Amino acid sequence: MSDNPTFIPYIVVSNAAAAIDFYKAAFGAVELLRHAAPNSEKLMHASLKINGGVLMMSDDFSASMGGKPQTQEALGGSPVTFHLAVTDADAIWEKAAAAGAEVTMPLADQFWGDRYGQLRDPFGHRWSIGQSIVKRTDAEIEQAAKTAFPG
């Protein structure tokens, strides 16, 4: 198996330079590379390392190619959530919130054994933060789910 990731999410944002700054402040991202588009302030490609994984991105160029905007703001959101499995959920949560992430599901101890919550970044992308705190069996999770999702 290669040391290089073979599955890498690639997102389109309304302001890639600002998104890079946000991901650095919120999640401790490390910028791997950045390529500016010629004669523009837009980025045609950028790559970040976040929590051991890689996230690639670019600014939205669809309008210049005759298409409709493809950012999360223009599309009204996305059902996709990026998950970060961490060892200190509270610390990452506070850092992300301080950087400007919007809480969409408060961080709390969950029935499946994780400390877990969800945030939306300023560019419309959803992120979840999870820390395993208790190892539960499948039967325990199924039983606890019946309480969490009654009727």
The answer to whether position 33 is within a domain reads yes
User: Where in 17-136 does DSSP place strands (E)?
Assistant: 30-36, 43-50, 53-59, 81-85, 102-109, 114-120, 126-132
Q: Over 70: is that where the pLDDT of 61 sits?
A: yes
Overall pTM > 0.75:
yes
The answer to whether position 86 is within a domain reads yes
Q: Over 50: is that where the pLDDT of 100 sits?
A: yes
The answer to whether position 85 is within a domain reads yes
Structural domain range at position 106: 10-138
The answer to whether position 147 is within a domain reads no
pLDDT band at 58 (very low <50, low <70, confident <90, very high): very high
pLDDT band at 1 (very low <50, low <70, confident <90, very high): very low
CATH number of the domain that 38 lies in? Answer: 3.10.180.10
Backbone torsions φ then ψ of 2, nearest 5 degrees: -75, 150
The answer to whether position 5 is within a domain reads no
Name 55's Cβ contacts closer than 8 Å, sequence gap at least 6: 8, 9, 10, 11, 23, 29, 47, 48, 82
Q: Over 90: is that where the pLDDT of 57 sits?
A: yes
The answer to whether position 2 is within a domain reads no
Q: For residues 51 and 17, what is the distance between their CA atoms, to the nearest angstrom?
A: 19
7-34, pLDDT tens digit by residue? 999 999 999 999 999 999 999 999 999 9
Residue 2 pLDDT? 55
The answer to whether position 77 is within a domain reads yes
Which residues, in sequence order, are bridge partners of residue 57?
Answer: 11, 46
The answer to whether position 151 is within a domain reads no
- Looking at the chain, the whole-number percentage of residues with pLDDT higher than 90 is 79
pLDDT band at 67 (very low <50, low <70, confident <90, very high): confident
Q: Quote the mean pLDDT of the chain.
A: 94
Q: Count of domains in the chain?
A: 1
Give the mean model confidence (pLDDT) for residues 110-121. Answer: 97
